[in-house]
Amino acid sequence: SLVVLMIALTGCGKDTDSAKDNSKPITLRYSTMQNKDHISYQVALNIKQAVEEKTEGRVLIDIYPANQLGDWSQVYDELMMGSIDMAHSSVPETYDARTAVGYFPYLSSSYDQLGEIFAEGSSLDNMMKEIQAKNGIEFCGFFVEGIAGIGTTKEVSNPNTLDSKNTVIRTAAMDCYILPCEYMGFDTTSIASSDTFAALQTGVVEGLAGSTPAGAYLNYRDIIDYYYVYQMSPEVTQIMISEKTLAKLSPEDQKTIVDICRQECANSVNYAKEEDEKYLKLMEDNGIKIVRFTDEEIEMFAEAVRTNVWPQLAKTYGEDFINELLKLYK
């Protein structure tokens, strides 16, 4: 009878616990790549505030900026597993190379056009939803952070032609960065991003590609002397939620969170324009020489890269995908 009593008591304990759990708010862990000065942190705060308000405190959000929960590829794996709930970050090409479309060289050098290409309901938006769903991730939209140029510690030779630049720059180890930079006359190397500052200091590299004005200013303002506004690589990250996390929420709260994230993505083009101009001005105030190009020069670079580099990218991203992108310019 003692055993029976113990089982009964254990059973009661369990019931009380689960009842208690149901009334407890769920706290989600939200990872961002950038530090607190970056627009993505402000956006995370907007999302946190709106979600907590609209779910009446049923869903709370803890924000972890500056890769505190691991680098983006690690964070992505944890989103798949559900051990991280939400993220605003880049997506590794490991599972599907097309996830790198947000960095495609000269996909567009105009903010408004980027807004259209990446808008909710666009062909790229639908494609990304499908890709992420296969990995157990709810894709909440593309977030346009800005358009990247090239920061250097020395003046670049022939900046407005496709001739050799006599400059070694660091790029991410992705073809969509390496090939266009090399085509435009730069020598490239793909050291880890965490080693870039030291490499610039010691002269191992003389510049870096893929940094928006915000990224260049916040991370490299003390080391670069020039910033070339090539408007080459859009910096388009993604806001994502683990499907395992969503499954713990009511359908109503699921919709609320996704809608709030979608809205922030829709606003991102306006943020991007303002942020890029703000940080170009801050760089200039910091003594960095800003080198701008005419619309004609930018169009010449864009045309050349789409015609000559995009076909090479078909090896990585697939012929169909490149043709799909080329249709945007027909």
Q: What is the pLDDT of residues 171-193, one digit of tens each?
A: 988 899 999 999 999 999 999 88
* Residue 68 confidence (pLDDT) above 90: yes
Q: What percent of the chain has pLDDT over 90?
A: 80
Terminal-to-terminal C-alpha distance of the chain: 82
Model pLDDT, residue 34: 87
How far apart are the C-alpha atoms of 80 and 243, rounded to whole Å? 8
- Nearest by Cα to 219 from 211, 229, 227, 228: 211
Model pLDDT, residue 22: 57
Model pLDDT, residue 324: 87
CB under 8 Å to 211, separation ≥6 — which residues? 148, 149, 150, 151, 219, 220
pLDDT tens track for 289-313: 999 999 999 999 999 999 999 999 9
State the pTM of this model. Answer: 0.84
Which CATH superfamily groups domain 24-329? Bacterial extracellular solute-binding protein, family 7 (3.40.190.170)
How far apart are the C-alpha atoms of 304 and 309, rounded to whole Å? 8
Domain residue ranges in the chain: 24-329
Count of other CB atoms within 10 angstroms of residue 35: 14
- Tell me the pairing of strands 86-89 and 226-242: antiparallel
Lowest mean pLDDT among 74-78, 111-115, 258-262: 111-115
pLDDT tens track for 139-182: 999 999 999 999 999 999 999 999 999 999 999 888 999 999 99
Average pLDDT, the chain: 91
- Tell me the pairing of strands 137-152 and 187-189: unpaired
DSSP category for residue 26: E
pLDDT tens track for 1-10: 544 444 444 4
